[in-house]
Amino acid sequence: AKAALPLMQGRSGALVTLTYLGADRVVPGYNTMGLAKASLEAGVRYLAASLGPKGIRVNAVSAGPIKTLAASGIAGFSKILRYVEENSPLQRNVTTGDVGNVAAFLLSDLAAGVTGEIIYVDGGFNTVVGAIPASGASE
């Protein structure tokens, strides 16, 4: 953000970062990353407050689990995908396209009045489930 400030100032700039439910809820095995994501989300709010007067918006997208090559290395990931699909209101997992569309919105002028927000793109999972149970994360 600091390096981009001169390029964005006065130009309706926008920053978007990615976070995860583990910042707010206990996710088995997420541990240190949960702390890092919680700090990132606080950073989004503080940056939004300090950069807003310069015309720069700062938001985050909290994506649900997505079946990617990198995720395939996470122990129990297929069970997590199944659990989220079965328990989210939309009864499906989200895609990279779903997340990309929300990021594009947040970076566009359509979101000119949105800053300091964490937008969940998880099929509504975060609204109905307290946490991912440990049994859902082990194979």
**How much is the pLDDT for 139?**
40
**How much is the pLDDT for 84?**
93
User: Domains of the chain: which residue ranges?
Assistant: 5-122
Question: Could you tell me the CA-to-CA distances from 74 to 1, 12, 47, 107 in Å, in that order?
Answer: 30, 38, 31, 30
Give mean pLDDT, residues 86-95. 96
Q: Which of 30, 46, 83, 120 is catalytic?
A: 30
**How much is the pLDDT for 126?**
95
Give domain 5-122's CATH superfamily: NAD(P)-binding Rossmann-like Domain (3.40.50.720)
Q: Find where tokens 């990021």 sit.
A: 103
d(CA 53, CA 116): 13
**How much is the pLDDT for 138?**
44
pTM metric for this prediction: 0.88
| Model pLDDT for residues 34-49, shown as the tens digit of each residue | 999 999 999 999 999 9
3-state secondary structure of 60: strand
Note if 30 is an active site residue: yes
Note if 20 is an active site residue: yes
Q: Which of 20, 46, 83, 120 is catalytic?
A: 20
- Residues of the chain with pLDDT > 70, as a percent, come to 94
Residue length of the chain: 139
